[in-house]
Amino acid sequence: MKEIEKRAITGIILVIVVFLMLFFKGMTLGVGMFILASIALFEWNKYLVSPKKTSLVLDIIWLAFFFFYTKNSLEAMVAITIPGICIILISSIMLHHSYNSIVNRVFAIFYIAWSFKLLMILGQEGIWAWMVFALSFGSDTFAYLAGVTFGKRPLAPTISPKKSVEGSIGGIIGSIIIAIILGKFFINISFIWSVATGLLASVMAQLGDLFASLVKRSVSIKDFGNILLGHGGVLDRFDSILLVGPLVYAIVYFLS
């Protein structure tokens, strides 16, 4: 099977899975996001923390409490994050982790756990989670098409040589168009807020993609995993969404 066929089939399956999670909400969405976050933690720990499983097991146990005990309460999420950091510090010292691995474990709390949890909350409370995926995937798609068609000037050659300034602009324009359509017909937000959301979402999506590429270059890997045939791992596919989700949550919080 050709690589493009693998990517297409996996992409379709992933879209269906995400659609079902967002459609049924409730425990389906919660368990689905927890599984994705757990896989992402495994990928992160494998390359940036330690190949030993002890720290990963502790992190996933904490993640389960974070996802299912706190429900949708920001106060509870903050409260359980504090002992989570303490557990990381104590266990890392006992397991003789390096300074970098300790920082990477703490960073994963916010980069992975908080991002997936906020995305879950958006999915439980309305259509905003759909907007996260639409803007993230839309920005990626428009950036790719614009880059292939018009791309000449490199955007970040030392991090991701194939990305271009023209592609970046195309991603922003595409994301704004999608945000305007969703804001007009589905979410009922003003034109200005739609444009601002589309613009910021595309910027965050591209930053998320570049950040993941930078991390992978730092540990000399092409992909974080291979669970998604043709797409790599969960972190490879959700790298843009992990930053767009918190952004959209902040916008919803501000507008409410």
- Give per-residue pLDDT as tens, 107-125: 999 999 999 999 999 998 7
pLDDT at 38 over 90: yes
Helix-then-strand count for the chain, H and E: 11, 2
Last residue of a domain, one of 98, 126, 154: 126
Q: Are residues 78 and 6 in the same domain?
A: yes
Q: Are residues 135 and 248 in the same domain?
A: yes
Nearest-angstrom CA–CA distance, 71 and 225: 29
Domain count across the chain: 2
Count the neighbouring beta carbons within 10 Å of the beta carbon of residue 173.
Answer: 17
Same-domain pairing of 81 and 110? yes
Q: Averaged over 178-192, what is the pLDDT?
A: 92
Same domain for 91 and 65: yes
Q: How many angstroms separate the CA atoms of 240 and 212, rounded?
A: 9
Residues in the chain: 256
> At which of 126, 158, 181 does a domain end?
126
Based on the domain organization, do 132 and 222 belong to the same domain?
A: yes
More confident residue, 10 or 70: 70
Higher pLDDT, 2 or 74: 74
State residue 127's pLDDT score: 86
CA separation for the pair 101, 86 (Å, rounded) = 15
Q: What is the pLDDT of residue 255?
A: 80
Same domain for 52 and 11?
Answer: yes
- Which residue, among 82, 57, 54, has the nearest Cα to 70 in the 3D structure? 82
pLDDT higher than 80, residue 244: yes
Average pLDDT over residues 139-156: 91
Q: Are residues 121 and 93 in the same domain?
A: yes
Same domain, 152 and 118: no
pLDDT at position 73 is 92
Report whether 185 contacts 152 (CB < 8 A): no
**154 and 118 both lie in a single domain:** no
230: helix, coil or strand?
coil
- Kindly state whether residues 121 and 164 are assigned to the same domain: no
R_g of the chain, CA atoms, integer Å: 18
pLDDT 10s digits, 222-242: 999 888 877 789 999 999 999
Q: Which domain holds residue 70?
A: 1-126
| Domain final residue pick, 126, 159, 189 | 126
Is residue 152 over pLDDT 60? yes
Is the pLDDT reported for residue 212 higher than 90? yes
% pLDDT > 90, the chain: 73
Average pLDDT over residues 49-56: 86
Query: Are residues 251 and 225 located together in one domain of the fold?
Result: yes
- Please name which of 30, 98, 115, 97 lies closest in space to residue 58, comparing C-alpha atoms: 97
Minimum mean pLDDT range among 18-22, 61-65, 194-198: 18-22
Residues 132 and 104 occupy one common structural domain: no
- Average pLDDT score, the chain: 91
